Chains A and B, each alone.
Chain A
Amino acid sequence: MGFRRVAIVGAGITKFVRRAQETPKELAYEAVKMALDSCEMTIKDIDCVALGTAPDAFDGVHMKGEYLIDGAGGFRKPYMRHYVGGGTGVFSPIHGWYHVASGMFDTCLVVAEEKMSTCHPHPAGAFLTIFDHTTEQPIYPTLIWIFAMEMHRYMHTYGITKEEIALVSVKNKKNAMDHPSAQLGEEITVQDVLNSEVMAYPVNRLDISPTSDGAAAIILAAEHVANRITDKPVWIDGIGYSLDTAYWCTRDLCYPDYVEKAARMAYDMAGIREPSKEIHVAEPYDPFSYKELHHMEGLLLCKRGEAAKLTADGVTQRTGNLPICPSGGALGVGNPIAATGLMKIIEIFLQLRGEAGKRQVPGNPTCGLAQAWGDLMQVGTVVVMRR
């Protein structure tokens, strides 16, 4: 297509916590500083900044991108914020990729930040206004409703049980015990999930990722620069994103078409024909336990309705044939929305470099992907990475 090859050369991430004393700017700064240090760069080496952050309502600041400029390293630089709802985190490297691949910039700092604890009494309140103001908001819907509806439809269509879905929470929370950023790493059982408080049937408390404060950052570089910075660049070989209609009540919620569209775009670009064989490790977005399964299907990593079985068979464990969310995912590491997506990118970056420590999946993976999702169950964002 005529674009320059773009590599990830550095990464930084904060710990994810329920409530941080740091301001949003300070969270962003911590992640940026670590990313720069990780590849021995300074902010002067950065040509431009791509900022990802989800609703302004969380941090409680209008034009949050402007507010975050100094913390995110955007001072007197070309600085642009991008936004695709919950899919923002994985869109961040896509947005940064465009900056570098287009030849406009040689290096790009990509920052994702979220401080959900600012919003009172609970960040869920900020989600009322994601619904259509005239035809839906008067019913006072909450975010969990629509996801519980999607989960219910998914279970109904393929005959999947809550037990099978709970296994995702069990796996991811366990994986997260090895992640230094993790908020909720713990060893739990399927029974614990089923016995946890019902939020909105069929969703229980332990089916849901927590609300979190946190930030992440990566540094992208064009090929000629990347090779000077590191001997282990990780290349972004495919990008894809897609947004379905906002009339969510008119879609069949049992299958994420938007994720499939995004995945096909990314696979085409990366020249991937058989995703389930060519992708060695994947980080699909798992803010709810069923979402990991739903997304594995949308990503064409397995057939429709089959993801639950793969999970039960252990295929998606770190030591399995297709490790899914070895980081611990949103369920275990935490879910500061945009930062979670970038956390997933960083996990694949580390896995492909063989630097994931205790979380390292075996077999020397060379190709991985990260994916996020959001809005009214509407958007899919996919990045394929290779060593």
Chain B
Amino acid sequence: MLDAEKIKATVTPVSEKDVAQGKVLSVRWKPDLRYAWDNGIAIGRYLQELKNGRIMAKRCNGCRRIMIPPRMFCELCWRPTDEWVQVKDTGTINTFVVSHIDWKAGRLPKGQRYYTPAVIEIDGASPGMGLLHLIDEIEPYEIKIGMRVKAVWKPAKDRIGAITDIKYFKPI
């Protein structure tokens, strides 16, 4: 049997205050980690077409799925994918979240709209094929699973070939 008293003695808890007051010293290090990822051909064209205001998918003639994001090979059929297909910029909310925190788990400042990310099943892609994006132009807690939405694009001159060329999706 493991001794409870021994377990309790294994670590020394430290509070934020101990650190702030210098009772416990720590080494701070901000790493300089920078990357430039190659997108490859499929995602490369996907981004290029977002710049043009289009969402492109790729079809696999093996499983007949129309896939977004597009990919050069079908991970299920283990074969190269076939033709490019333009899909719509509308879709259906598969699931969503009302987030009161940012990506660092920090609370949002008062007055800032909650983040409402959703998985959106895109029209024209195979059922269940979704994208992660944000929903806006609706009160966060009024969003419903199954709701129909449409992409709101940045003005053409501001697009850079990124997923953020779509500002968000709004209900239709």
Contacts and interface: CB of A to CB of B under 8 A. Distances in A.
Interface of A: 11-15, 17-22, 27, 30-31, 34, 38, 60, 120-125, 127-128, 131-136, 138-142, 144-145, 148-150, 152-153, 156, 180-181, 197-203, 213-214, 245, 247, 249-253, 346, 350, 355, 357
Nearest to A251: B128
Contacts, number: 177
Interface in B17-65: 19, 24, 28-29, 31, 35, 37, 39, 43, 46-47
B94 to A, nearest CB: 7
Contacts of B138: none
**Majority SS at the chain B contact face:** mixed
B113 interface: no
B11 A149 contact: no
Contacts of A120: 28
Q: Is chain A's interface secondary structure helix, strand, loop, or mixed overall?
A: mixed
Contacts of B102: 140, 142
Nearest to A204: B100
Contact of A249 (B31, B43, B75, B131): B131
B105 A249 contact: no
Given A135-B163, A139-B163, A357-B4, A145 B11 contact: no
Interface residues of B, number: 59
B2 A148 contact: no
Contacts of A202: 97
Contact of B99 (A13, A20, A142, A180): A142
Interface string B123-143: 000001111111000001100
Most chain B CB atoms below 10 A, which of A197, A199, A245: A199
A79 to B, nearest CB: 22
B100 A125 contact: no
A18 B13 contact: yes
Contacts of A144: 97, 99, 101, 105
Contacts of A198: 98, 100
Contacts of B98: 198, 200-201
Nearest to A250: B129
B7 interface: yes
A245 B163 CA distance: 21
20 contacts: A13-B10, A15-B8, A15-B13, A19-B16, A22-B12, A30-B11, A127-B103, A128-B103, A134-B39, A135-B43, A135-B46, A136-B132, A139-B133, A180-B4, A181-B7, A199-B100, A249-B129, A249-B131, A253-B94, A346-B2
Residue of A14, A38, A121, A145 with highest tally of chain B CB at under 10 A: A145
B104 A34 contact: no
A11 to B, nearest CB: 7
Contacts of A21: 11-14, 24
Among A122, A156, A249, which residue has the most Cβ atoms of chain B within 10 A?
A249
Closest 4 CB pairs of A and B: A124-B105, A180-B4, A201-B98, A249-B130
Contact of B128 (A132, A150, A252, A355): A252
Contact of A357 (B1, B47, B131): B1
A136 B118 CA distance: 12
A350 B99 contact: no
